[in-house]
Structure 1
């Protein structure tokens, strides 16, 4: 079992580079991304772990379905298909479908989330 709690120690994550290094496009930055894969591999149908990014904006078209919970910071996500923007704080979660294009607006100095991703279509 993997537990992600708001009061858990914040371990150091691996440098994942810029949004471009994870398949996204920086809109406002620079942004530094980091993460730690804790379940599966980047090639497996299901994977998960921790992710962080510094303040800024980036656009990404999701290559997988994702459920995530924000652990630290403040983040607004805009669904570019509908124009809907939702503001998230610690303890709040979302699901984004594979193929959706969203704009991430990281409003705090940094955010950290736990996530579970899958490429399996139901």
Structure 2
């Protein structure tokens, strides 16, 4: 079992570079990303861990289904198909379907989330 709590110690994360390293496109700012894979691998159908990013905006088309919970910071996610924007804070969660194109707007100096990714068909 992996447990994630808002008041947990923040483990060091690995430098993942820029959003372009995960197939995204930076729209605004010098966004840097980091993370730690804690469950599965990049080759398994299901994986998860912790992800962090610095302030800015980037666009990404999801290559997997994702459930995530924000631990730190403030983030607005816009579904570019519907135009709907939702602002998230610590403790808030979302699900994004594989194939969805979204705009991430990291409003705080940084965000940190937990995530579970499923690269399987619906």
TM-score computed with the length of structure 1 as normaliser: 0.99
Cα-Cα RMSD = 0.4
Q: What SS does structure 2 have at the residue aligned with 1:91?
A: coil
* Runs of 4+ that moved beyond 4 A: none
Residues in 2 aligned to 1:92 and 1:16: alpha-carbon distance in whole angstroms = 24
* Unpaired runs of at least 5, structure 2: none
TM-score computed with the length of structure 2 as normaliser: 0.99
Post-superposition offset of 1:43: 1.1
* 1:63-101 superposed Cα distances (whole Å, 9 cap, x missing partner): 000000000000000000000000000000000000000
Residues in 2 aligned to 1:15 and 1:22: alpha-carbon distance in whole angstroms = 12
Number of positions where the alignment pairs a residue of Structure 1 with one of Structure 2? 122
User: What are the equivalent positions in structure 2 for 1:50-61 lying under 5 Å apart?
Assistant: 50-61=50-61
Residues in 1 aligned to 2:15 and 2:101: alpha-carbon distance in whole angstroms = 24
